[in-house]
Amino acid sequence: MQQSGNKSHRNLAALAFTACTVLGLSACSGPMAFREVTAGLVATAQGVFMRPDVNLKEKNYAAADYIEPKLKNTVGGYKTIAAKPLNEVDNPGITSPLGMKIPEEIGLRLVDLGYKVDIREVATGGNEGVYDQTPMSAANPDFVLSGSYLRNRDDLDVHLRVVNTHTGEVVASFDYKLLLSVEVRKLSETPTRIYRVQAK
């Protein structure tokens, strides 16, 4: 598990370096500035989310790194973000394993970056206890990470947003296309709804 996490971070660092090289970013000239070149920038420049050689976890971490700079001035490290399942656009109110995994791994990455994220509602791999919630913060999160996705023939449209629960303001958002790989295709399958019609 740790080895997989290290691999993800190494790959993201390599992608950041590639962005600096290809784009010739002067902002990458110093060590501190280089660290501020997030995987989200790389994703925009290199099309990370559509690359078959980048796994889903790395793409979710890249999405988190894209969103995070937008949270610094409004969320900080002391307010609570509740991660919610992503809804499928074609089936409102229904989610899938993918709709859980994306916000879960984005939440885990934000935890790594110092944010308080309640991922219990989307936890799929025994990560429910990553952030030890107090009853008050669990019942009344300051922000909600949510969104939706639409499955197309070859990709998915993913729409993410972080909303202030007190004001309704969208403090961060990110829309991107995700390659419909074999893994993503399987995870995005939703359960079939069964409608029972009562005979008259």
| pLDDT score, position 37 | 45
State whether the Cα torsion 82-74-67-34 is positive or negative.
negative
Neighbours of 187 (CB within 10 A): 17
In a domain, 114, yes or no: yes
* CATH number of the structural domain spanning residue 183: 3.40.50
Higher pLDDT, 190 or 44: 190
Structural domain count, the chain:
1
Does 198 have pLDDT greater than 60? yes
Q: Distance between CA 118 and CA 35 in Å, rounded?
A: 26
In a domain, 178, yes or no: yes
| pLDDT score, position 66 | 92
Could you tell me where the beta strands, DSSP code E, fall in 20-136? 80-83, 87-88, 116-118
Q: Report residue 85: phi and psi, to 5°.
A: -60, 145
Position 159, amino acid: H
The pLDDT mean for the chain works out to 77
| pLDDT score, position 196 | 60
Can you give the pTM of this predicted structure? Answer: 0.73
In a domain, 126, yes or no: yes
In a domain, 24, yes or no: no
| pLDDT score, position 140 | 86
In a domain, 193, yes or no: no
| pLDDT score, position 190 | 75
In a domain, 5, yes or no: no
Q: Distance between CA 166 and CA 160 in Å, rounded?
A: 19
| pLDDT score, position 17 | 46
Question: What would the pLDDT profile of 77-132 be if each residue is shown by its tens digit?
Answer: 789 999 999 999 988 778 899 999 999 999 999 999 999 999 989 988 766 555 55
- What pLDDT band is residue 45 in, cutting at 50, 70 and 90? very low
CB 85 within 8 A of CB 100: yes
The token pair that represents 86 in the structure block: 């992503």
Domain containing 65: what range?
Answer: 52-187
| pLDDT score, position 6 | 52
In a domain, 7, yes or no: no
